[in-house]
């Protein structure tokens, strides 16, 4: 069965605004899991009729260690999204004509530690096939921080779902997205990295049919693979029950398993076209989410799984 890229993964419109779901501030709330050894393969979507690739690959060397590039080295093409203290732009490198995503974070003292942690984590993901690639820091004339990232030109799976009018992803496309997203977890977990904010808005797609995980702003590196996690950050709608209900599950939770839960919810949302633990059209307020996540179940999932082979 042939998948049409423009039907399932259409190019984003000229102006898109990606609004992040509400994140919760840090609070206290962690189980143990064996270490992960990644021996997976790189999977792509089935062959697609693809548009022309970007002009050409970057010929100059980008370093993860030295911000050897200036903001003036790039032309801004458009804004890709806003939120969480910064803006992401699509930019073109003047010398090579290669296209990238540039994440600009304002010079806010409260954000600088978070940005530095994100950069440190991105540097640890070098070699991960299913993580958006970090190229370099970029020098800016102000104190703002600029991260040069791989450009995922189809946008997020959340944006793709909205451009489809929230019609569910076809099964073939859904399977390809789920498979590649699942492969990102052992890549991260084998490096003791937990993402803590997996959701459709952080699963990005490019015109080659690749799916990669992005946005490590609230991620964490565990000192040991069996360390529990006791922080309460991320997007509440995609949190696992043990992260929300410390009375029942205790103060600590299995941070690796929590990533798996979040990814499962994200895939179900792409399958159903709406947040799977609430009826379509019901606003995800805090009380409704607590009841749905800790006590409810996704309607129709078991029947659907029974039809798959």
Sketch out the chain's domains with CATH numbers. 5-11+25-47+153-307 (1.10.510.10), 69-150 (3.30.200.20)
Confidence of residue 286 (pLDDT cuts 50, 70, 90): confident
Evaluate if residue 222 carries a pLDDT over 70: no
Section 126-136 average pLDDT: 94
Judged by average pLDDT, the poorest of 75-84, 133-142, 145-154, 165-174 is: 75-84
pLDDT for the residue 83: 66
Sheet holding 145-150, edge to edge: 69-70, 134-139, 145-150, 99-105, 86-93, 74-83
pLDDT for the residue 5: 52
Model confidence, pTM: 0.73
Comparing 138 with 62, which gets the higher pLDDT? 138
Judged by average pLDDT, the poorest of 21-30, 50-59, 83-92, 205-214 is: 50-59
Comparing 45 with 223, which gets the higher pLDDT? 223
pLDDT for the residue 247: 65
Evaluate if residue 220 carries a pLDDT over 80: no
Evaluate if residue 108 carries a pLDDT over 80: no
Known catalytic residue at 252: no
Evaluate if residue 251 carries a pLDDT over 70: no
Section 41-56 average pLDDT: 35
Evaluate if residue 39 carries a pLDDT over 90: no
Q: Among residues 197, 215, 254, 259, which one is catalytic?
A: 197
Comparing 216 with 47, which gets the higher pLDDT? 216
pLDDT for the residue 216: 77
pLDDT for the residue 135: 94
Q: How far apart are CA 161 and CA 152, in angstroms?
A: 16
Section 37-48 average pLDDT: 38
pLDDT for the residue 224: 43
pLDDT digits (tens, 9 = 90+) for 113-130: 788 888 899 999 999 999
Annotated binding-site residues for ATP read: 103
pLDDT digits (tens, 9 = 90+) for 147-164: 999 999 999 999 999 999
């Amino acid at each position: 069965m042939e998948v049409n890229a423009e039907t399932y993964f259409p190019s984003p419109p000229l102006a898109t605004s990606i609004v992040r779901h509400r994140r919760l501030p840090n609070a206290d709330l962690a189980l143990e899991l064996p270490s992960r050894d990644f021996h997976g393969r790189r999977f792509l979507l089935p062959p697609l009729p693809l548009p022309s690739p970007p002009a050409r690959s970057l010929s100059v060397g980008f370093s993860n260690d030295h911000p050897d590039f200036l903001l003036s080295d790039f032309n801004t093409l458009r804004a890709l999204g806003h939120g969480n203290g910064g803006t992401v732009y699509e930019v073109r490198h003047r010398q090579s004509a290669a296209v990238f995503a540039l994440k600009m974070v304002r010079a806010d003292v409260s954000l600088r530690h978070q940005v530095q942690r994100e950069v440190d984590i991105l540097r640890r993901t070098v070699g991960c096939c299913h993580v958006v690639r970090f190229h370099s820091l970029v020098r800016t004339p102000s104190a703002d921080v600029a991260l040069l990232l791989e450009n995922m030109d189809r946008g997020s799976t959340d944006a793709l779902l909205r451009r489809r009018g929230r019609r569910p992803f076809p099964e073939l496309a859904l399977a390809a997205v789920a498979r590649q997203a699942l492969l990102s977890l052992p890549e991260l977990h084998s490096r003791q990295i937990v993402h803590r904010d997996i959701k459709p808005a952080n699963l990005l797609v490019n015109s080659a049919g690749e799916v990669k995980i992005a946005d490590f702003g609230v991620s964490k590196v565990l000192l040991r693979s069996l360390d529990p996690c006791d922080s309460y950050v991320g997007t509440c709608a995609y949190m696992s029950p043990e992260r929300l209900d410390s009375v029942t599950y205790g103060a600590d939770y299995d941070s690796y398993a929590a990533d798996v839960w979040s990814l499962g919810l994200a895939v179900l949302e792409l399958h159903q076209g709406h947040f799977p633990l609430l009826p379509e059209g019901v606003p995800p307020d805090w009380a409704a989410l607590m009841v749905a996540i800790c006590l409810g179940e996704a309607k129709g999932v078991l029947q659907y799984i029974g039809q798959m082979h």
